[in-house]
Structure 1
């Protein structure tokens, strides 16, 4: 296990290095920078002033020199300054990470709590009326875009409650946060729950056809023991994989939902930073999301060996 962890950590470092190069280069080969955007929006045409701003931001330096400066700052804990607000990047990003994390966590809890039990029920009651209802529900979840479902929720709230459940103030308590994030989390988690539901169903159906399941039933084990202790425990590994993927995706995939519900989170802020070519914000945010993805993948791999004793990673 120790050698495996060393290999995985080395692979994580290599992956993050590759991501940093890709992020940095792609941002700079896109036409235009913040100086171009500012001057175009203000209608300015003074090339000397524009050149001065470009030089102050270091955008006139070779890409390799800019990259080394950014990476060196990362290792020293210096994320740079936002081009737009001129504030330290960490001060711009840090308050938004908990907001998106809470929303993503609620959406993940919603998708797991709804998706796994319904997937098990659908597999156990295969080809019954309830199974068909659950399968139609899952197809609906995969078909409905989360932003469209969010708009429907907003319109229904206005129609029946006379209020728009959007982010207008900082929540004063845990209960306020739960009320504020529950609706957008349900809008996002509905699609994830449908994916978890279908994967749980297919995995359970495969497990329930195994010989040891028939042996357990022939020995008089109860239906609950067969379905949950023997069936779900062995069918849960693919489900954990998709839950881990969804957890990583949700952190950066809430752009439209955060916009619809006016939530000042990371995803929405990332889009604004890309629009203004605010390189320090975009680079550090995307690197943070990449770090979350690789860490979640490592956690999922380690959970495999914890949940299934047959899996052992060789040293």
Structure 2
């Protein structure tokens, strides 16, 4: 087990190193940089001023030197300065991470809270009207884009209450925070809940056909015991995988939702930084998202061994 964890940690470091190289090189080979954008917006180009600005930002150096400078600062905890705001990148990024994390966490909670029980109910009642109704709901959730659902929610709010929900990044109480994050989280979590529901249903249907389920019923076990203690316990592993992937996706995949609801989160800030070629912000945000994805996959692998005694990672 220890050797497996060490191998996974080494693989995580190699993966993050590869991602850092790819994002750094891709940003530099894209035509135009922050200097070009600033001078184009001004309507004139003074070659001397442009060269001085590139020298100040370090953009006149080779890609290798720029990468070593960035990765060295990253290892020391120095994320550099934003080219646009001229503030430390850490000060720009840190306040936005809790906002996106709360939104993603609440959306993930909704997806598990609704998706797993409804998936079990759909599998247990296979072929009934209830099953068909739940399958229609799940297909609707997978088909409706979250930004379109968000726009519908905003339009309904205006029609019913005459105003749109205003996002406040600093709620005073837990109730205010829940009310603020609940609407966008439901808009995002509807799709995730539909996906979790379909995976739960498919996994449950496979488990319910196993011999030990029939044996449990033959011994007189109640349907609740069979469905939740025997079947769901063994069907939960694929669901855990999907939830882990969704958790990683939600951290960086809330771009449109944050834009629709005017939420100052990480995903929306990343798009703005890409538009301005704000290299320090883009590089550090992408690395943050990559770390979340890698850690989420590692956590899912560890949960496999904790939830299923048949799985053991040998040395």
TM-score, length-normalised on structure 1?
0.99
The whole-number CA distance in structure 1 between the counterparts of 2:230 and 2:168 is 48
Aligned 8 A contact 2:103 2:185 in 1? yes
Aligned 8 A contact 1:270 1:282 in 2? yes
Offset at 1:44?
Answer: 2.2
Counterpart of 1:294? 294
Unaligned regions of 5+ residues in structure 2, if any? none
Counterpart of 1:54? 54
Q: What aligned pairs does 1:191-210 form with structure 2 within 5 A after superposition? A: 191-210=191-210
Q: What aligned pairs does 1:40-189 form with structure 2 within 5 A after superposition? A: 40-168=40-168, 170-189=170-189
Aligned 8 A contact 1:166 1:263 in 2? no
Aligned 8 A contact 1:168 1:262 in 2? no
Instruction: Please provide the CA RMSD for this pair.
Output: 0.7
Aligned pair in 2 of structure 1 residues 84, 30: CA closer, same or farther (>3 Å)?
Answer: same
Aligned 8 A contact 2:142 2:194 in 1? yes
Deviations 1:24-54 (A, max 9, x none): 0000011000000111112122111111111
Deviations 1:184-218 (A, max 9, x none): 00000000000000000000000000000000000
Offset at 1:111?
Answer: 0.6
Unaligned regions of 5+ residues in structure 1, if any? none
The whole-number CA distance in structure 1 between the counterparts of 2:174 and 2:29 is 44
Aligned 8 A contact 2:99 2:169 in 1? no
Q: Secondary structure at the match of 2:212?
A: helix
Offset at 1:174?
Answer: 1.6
Counterpart of 1:10? 10
Offset at 1:168?
Answer: 4.8
Counterpart of 1:311? 311
Q: Count residues in correspondence.
A: 315
Offset at 1:170?
Answer: 2.6
TM-score, length-normalised on structure 2?
0.99
Deviations 1:84-117 (A, max 9, x none): 1110000000000000000000000011101000
What stretches of structure 1 move > 6 A for 4+ residues in a row?
A: none
